[in-house]
Amino acid sequence: MIKDADLAVGSLSDVHKDGFIAFSNFQIPTEDGERVGTLTTKGTYEQVANLPQAVQAVAADYYRYI
C-alpha cells in the first residue's frame, strides 16, 4: 500500500492473476482549475468493466463511503 502519494500507478504484471485496482488522490489540480486522478486496473473484462464507474461514484461522494 502506498499512502499519502499524489500519484501512484499500479504495475501491470502476471503476479496479479486475479486482477487488481490502484488509484491515486483524485484532488490533483490541473492548469484550468479542475481536479484529476489516476485509475489503473488489471483483470479480465468481467473483473474490471465496472470499476471506473465505481471509483467515480466513490470519488464524487467520498465521505458517504467512510
Domain extent, residue 44, equals: 1-66
8-45 pLDDT tens trace: 666 666 676 777 777 777 788 899 999 888 777 888 88
Count of structural domains within the chain: 1
pLDDT of residue 40: 78
Name residues whose C-beta falls within 8 Å of residue 28's C-beta, 6 or more positions apart in sequence.
6, 7, 35, 36, 37
pTM for this one? 0.51
